[in-house]
Amino acid sequence: MNLSNQVNLHQLETYFIESKRSIAGSIILSFGIVYILYTLSVPLYISLIWFAAILTTSLVRLKLSKHFLIHIKPAAKSTENLSLANLIVLTITSLVWSSAYIALMYYGDNSFDLIAILILIGFIGSSIFSAGAYLPFYLALNLIPTVIAFVYYFNQANHIVPVTAPLILLAILFIFSSAYRYAEQVRATETNHLTLQQAKNDIIKVLGSAGEYRDEDTGNHILRMSHSCYLLAKEIGIDEERAREIESASTLHDVGKIGIPDKILLKPGPLDDAEREIMNDHTAIGYKILDAVDSPVIDLAKIITMTHHEKWDGSGYPHGLQGEQIPIEGRIAAICDVFDALTSERPYKKPWSHQDAAQYLLDHKGTHFDPKLVESFINILPEIISYRLSKP
């Protein structure tokens, strides 16, 4: 996903997080509108229909928000469809609110014209922080009722006080310009954050590649393995941000191989016991290398580096952890690393088929691997194979 799409995704996320407050506020305000309409002798059925419309659009907005925050995947098409649906709902919502402003002016005396405009100003002003993060949504929610109410207000020539008209216009223009500036500020902040994050990720990948390069695996092992970790993390319900952190951190799982002598690292055959003991030190070496840096992703990388060779039954290294004593990130990395290693060509072996490697995981679940994670890995095997074929 390119930077622009990532920024759009974060803007949408900000909007949907804040939209819950907007929805709650609009429902509370609607009670007040219904009461005012009642005091103006508006037929009760009209007020109830209007309130039902507000409640319906609010529930749909809440459903769309929940869908995005819990289920949506960061794909351009899925966010595009959801954005369009939300724009339609917000446009309908704005038309419903427009009818309320006009009803206040139509059924009330001259003083209610100003009251309606003040309610409108309060509505469009308060929604800057709840909807302004994504400008198209803010405009869909506020532009139509503003134009309709304002045109109606100015058509009542005998109601206009010469001083209030330009002040109201300036206030509305200021609010809309503030919404624009807020959206641009959110976008600029997200762009800077994501650019910095991408730079950090690139550095991590370079460092991870350094460890793999000496192992004569100069292809895309770390890309394949780390992406598999991301897919598996998502499959078991880990949220998008954490899954991406696991993807970045797992690229460093074998960085400690930098400290292993070539005669052992590049040996075209089985290692003897002494050599195996030295090779196993790469987890501790990797931890020491990473321990010089303090950041959330590097802290996660240290966990993966130290635990991706632990086994479910406690027979792994370096600490002999077993079961859920092994951090979930280490258990994820163990499965993805072994699968990619089995299906890759090495100086001492031919690559296994995807089916044989998958069967190996199944045969060793409960001993080497977390049984539930193996089942989840098998569920996403087609996605993993597809990505692997694109990164041979």
Q: Which residue has the higher pLDDT, 163 or 116?
A: 116
Backbone angles phi, psi at 322, to 5 degrees: -140, 155
Lowest mean pLDDT among 174-188, 211-225, 367-381: 211-225
Query: Is 217 a residue whose pLDDT tops 60?
Result: no
Q: Which long-range contacts does 74-81 make (Cβ < 8 Å, 24+ apart)?
A: 74/1, 74/5, 74/6, 74/9, 74/240, 76/1, 76/5, 79/5, 79/8, 79/9, 79/12
Other CB atoms within a 10 A radius of the CB of residue 376 amount to 19
Query: Is 389 a residue whose pLDDT tops 90?
Result: no
Query: Is 77 a residue whose pLDDT tops 80?
Result: no
Enumerate the H helices of 108-239 as residue ranges. 110-126, 128-131, 135-155, 164-213, 221-235
Nearest CA to 106 out of 59, 10, 41 is that of: 41
Q: What is the mean pLDDT of residues 254-261?
A: 86
Q: What is the mean pLDDT of residues 155-166?
A: 62
pLDDT of residue 160: 52
Query: Is 388 a residue whose pLDDT tops 60?
Result: yes
Q: What is the mean pLDDT of residues 64-70?
A: 77
pLDDT of residue 218: 42
Give the pair of three-digit tokens for residue 229: 């970790």
What torsion do the CA atoms of 56, 60, 66, 67 make, to the nearest 10 degrees?
Answer: 160
Q: Point out the residues that are catalytic.
A: 257
Using one digit for the tens of pLDDT, what is the confidence trace for 304-314?
Answer: 999 999 999 99
Euclidean distance between CA atoms 14 and 21, whole angstroms:
12
214-390, what's its fold? Hypothetical protein af1432 (1.10.3210)
Euclidean distance between CA atoms 267 and 47, whole angstroms:
82
pLDDT of residue 201: 67
Single pTM value for the model: 0.58
- Mean pLDDT in the chain? 84
